[in-house]
A and B are shown apart, each in its own frame.
Chain A
Amino acid sequence: DTGVSQDPRHKITKRGQNVTFRCDPISEHNRLYWYRQTLGQGPEFLTYFQNEAQLEKSRLLSDRFSAERPKGSFSTLEIQRTEQGDSAMYLCASSWGDRPYEQYFGPGTRLTVT
């Protein structure tokens, strides 16, 4: 499968715990994006990488959120001290260098904080 993959697909955690999600982009894509989607809303931009450099972060990305893309390939999104408001679908997408608007999305990781 050459599409964007995300792991895990579902995560249930208790409030206050830390969680980490992984995204593997399409191999030749150098740009990687994280979005969050809550029920009834469209995806909301969180952050964006070009290769290993994190070039843009949304104000939605509080201090409890951190994202990395250490070797310009896969990326991780960590949420520390989870809160119930963090419950959402976390989407990863990737794109070619010269077509940033054509983002290929993964299946998402659904996080439930109890």
Chain B
Amino acid sequence: AQRVTQPEKLLSVFKGAPVELKCNYSYSGSPELFWYVQYSRQRLQLLLRHISRESIKGFTADLNKGETSFHLKKPFAQEEDSAMYYCALRGGTSYGKLTFGQGTILTVHP
């Protein structure tokens, strides 16, 4: 079975502060991990995936297989980062299925 856990439903920071959204997963094989984001009144969209090792909108995420974590980080939060963030996992045996966490609402205060 595969599972994604985001322990924080809500996270509030001030503009310019560092932010870390936590994600832990459970999967017996080698998963692919992703972060999806949903801004207010917009659709769910892909933010980044662990394989690409890119920085998107200043966000990075490192897959830690030892701790089975894939935390999303940004050194200096901006107000426009306020959104719902979902961590998602794709298992090797399923070509299409994504398993999502419960989501974390990030609010960045001015």
A90 at the interface (CB under 8 A from B): no
- Residues of the A chain whose Cβ atoms lie less than 8 Å from the Cβ of B30: none
B95 touches A43 (CB 8 A): no
What's the Cα separation between A102 and B98 when bound, in Å? 10
Most chain A CB inside 10 Å of its own CB: which residue of B9, B86, B94, B96: B96
| A101 contact from B4, B9, B98, B100, Cβ within 8 A | B98
Size category of the binding interface on chain B: 20 to 34
Which residue on chain B has the smallest CB distance to residue A37? B100
Which residues of chain B have C-beta atoms less than 8 A from A43's C-beta?
44, 86, 98, 100
Take A41-B102, A55-B96, A106-B43 as given contacts and tell me if A101 and B86 are in contact as well, using a CB distance cutoff of 8 Å.
no
Answer yes or no: A111 CB below 8 A from chain B CBs.
no
Return the contact of B43 from the options A40, A42, A44, A105 (Cβ within 8 A). Answer: A105
Q: Is B46 located at the chain interface by the 8 A CB criterion?
A: yes
Q: Which residues of B contact A22 (CB under 8 A)?
A: none
Question: Does B32 count as interface, using CB distance less than 8 angstroms?
Answer: yes
Q: How far is the CA of A58 from the CA of B94 in the complex (A)?
A: 11
**Alpha-carbon distance A24/B34, docked complex (angstroms):** 24
Tell whether B97 is near chain A: CB-to-CB under 8 Å: yes
Q: Which 4 A-B residue pairings sit nearest by Cβ, starting from the closest?
A: A42-B100, A48-B96, A105-B44, A45-B97
Chain B interface (Cβ < 8 Å from any Cβ of A): 4, 9, 32, 34, 43-46, 49, 86, 88, 90, 94-103
Interface residues of A (CB under 8 A from B): 3-4, 31, 33, 40-45, 48, 50, 55-56, 58, 91, 93, 95, 100-107
24 A-B contact pairs sorted by A residue (CB < 8 Å): A31-B96, A41-B102, A42-B100, A42-B102, A42-B103, A43-B100, A45-B99, A48-B95, A48-B97, A55-B95, A56-B94, A56-B96, A56-B97, A91-B44, A100-B90, A100-B95, A101-B49, A101-B90, A101-B98, A103-B46, A103-B98, A104-B43, A105-B45, A106-B43
